[in-house]
């Protein structure tokens, strides 16, 4: 049964194949004109098609008297055809916008931004370039090697991994039976509606020194202290320094602190008691369930940003307080998608 209506049209032309090129080579060596060669081919080819092909594949050769002459060779014509075919396709979307390419490379390579953070910052700051790209396009370009100075090795996280399924643990930490459980934490803390509720953790390395990190749940603001050791005394000393810095505003800024059940955090009374006002509380502490790091998710995500500068296994003793301060400033000025591509500093301003 023949189809009466169809949308396909008869093809008007077809490119020369390798077999036809060898026929053209043989006929041209016999001295035939382009029109005669085209008529001899099956299917017939136009004179201009043959002229263009003869122009595409000429090669210089020498005869037995060492005289130069230009002849058409089918393999040379086929090779040029294959080269031209390989170059087909759309050009790079970034085109000739070298300023945008340099900006992206600088942010990712030197300032350790993710592609999404770079694109978000361009949008929120209203930066103008000749070309507009999306995050997915930048990732694709990095995959293809379109950038000169960056590759997938420069990206902190290449692909989103499948998220684990978490189960809420109702078990009480055996080493911290007197600690205030996260279950007692008000709903306003869980919903991140209010500024001033922090998560606290320690980042360790190969040396004795470690980092005490505090992350504000709403704004993702970060505070980092370098401690001589991972002990209760060092943690208390760091919080005392914070209280002396903010004085009367400490209780407003640090309304609560949620932490894990590490031995360095078990002195709940010491953490909560003010060093400036005897017998007064400066904050309220909550302890997450055992093996439930996801209950301090903001803290754990911030630790990944720290690891861009201090990889696992690094000796933190070798990092000065100025180095730690630079990392803290970088994190507080890093644009976040969850904040509408604002940085924590911009969000709290």
H or E element at residue 216: strand 210-216
Strands (E), 15-116: 58-62, 68-72
Ordered per-residue pLDDT tens for the chain, 349 residues: 455 555 555 556 688 898 999 999 899 889 899 999 999 998 889 999 999 888 887 777 777 777 787 888 888 888 888 888 777 766 677 778 889 999 999 999 999 999 999 999 999 999 999 989 999 999 999 998 889 899 998 887 765 556 666 565 556 677 888 899 999 999 999 999 999 999 999 999 999 999 999 999 999 999 999 999 999 999 999 999 999 999 999 999 999 999 999 999 999 999 999 999 988 999 999 999 998 899 999 999 999 999 999 999 999 999 999 999 999 999 999 999 999 999 999 998 8
The total of other beta-carbon atoms located within 10 Å of residue 236's CB is 16
Q: Please tell me the class of the 182-348 domain.
A: alpha beta
Closest CA to 176 of 129, 220, 232, 246: 232
Structure token digits, residue 259: 């932490």
Residue 325 phi/psi, 5-degree rounding, is -65, -40
* 293-314 burial: b if 16+ Cβ within 10 Å, else e: eebbebbeebbebbeeebeeeb
CA distance 332 to 174: 36
pTM for the whole thing? 0.73
Domain with CATH 3.30.420.10 in the chain: 182-348
């Amino acid at each position: 049964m023949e189809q009466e209506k169809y949308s396909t049209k008869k093809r008007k032309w077809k490119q020369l194949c390798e077999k036809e090129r060898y026929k053209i080579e043989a006929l041209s060596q016999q001295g035939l004109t382009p029109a005669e060669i085209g008529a001899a081919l099956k299917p017939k080819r136009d004179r201009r098609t043959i002229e263009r092909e003869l122009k595409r594949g000429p090669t210089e050769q020498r005869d037995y008297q060492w005289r130069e002459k230009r002849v058409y060779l089918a393999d040379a014509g086929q090779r040029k055809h294959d080269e031209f075919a390989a170059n087909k396709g759309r050009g790079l979307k970034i085109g000739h916008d070298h300023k945008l390419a340099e900006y992206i490379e600088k942010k990712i390579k030197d300032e350790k931004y993710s592609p999404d953070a770079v694109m978000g910052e361009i949008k929120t700051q209203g930066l103008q370039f000749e070309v507009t790209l999306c995050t997915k396009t930048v990732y694709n370009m990095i995959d293809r090697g379109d950038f000169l100075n960056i590759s997938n090795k420069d990206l902190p996280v290449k692909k989103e991994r499948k998220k684990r399924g978490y189960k809420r643990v109702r078990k009480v930490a055996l080493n911290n039976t007197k600690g205030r459980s996260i279950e007692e934490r008000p709903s306003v803390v869980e919903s991140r509606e209010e500024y001033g509720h922090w998560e606290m953790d320690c980042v360790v390395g190969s040396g004795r020194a470690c980092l005490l990190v505090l992350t504000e749940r709403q704004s993702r603001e970060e505070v980092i202290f370098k401690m001589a050791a991972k002990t209760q005394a060092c943690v208390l000393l760091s919080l005392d320094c914070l209280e002396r810095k903010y004085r009367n505003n400490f209780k407003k800024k640090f309304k609560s602190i949620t932490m894990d059940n590490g031995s360095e955090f078990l002195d709940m009374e010491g953490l909560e008691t003010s060093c400036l006002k005897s017998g007064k509380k400066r904050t309220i502490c909550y302890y997450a369930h055992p093996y439930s790091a996801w209950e301090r998710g903001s803290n754990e995500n911030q630790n990944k940003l720290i690891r861009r500068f201090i990889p696992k296994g690094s000796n933190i003793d070798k990092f000065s307080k100025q180095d730690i301060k630079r990392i803290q400033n970088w994190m507080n000025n890093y644009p976040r998608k969850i904040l509408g591509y604002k940085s924590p500093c911009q969000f709290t301003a």
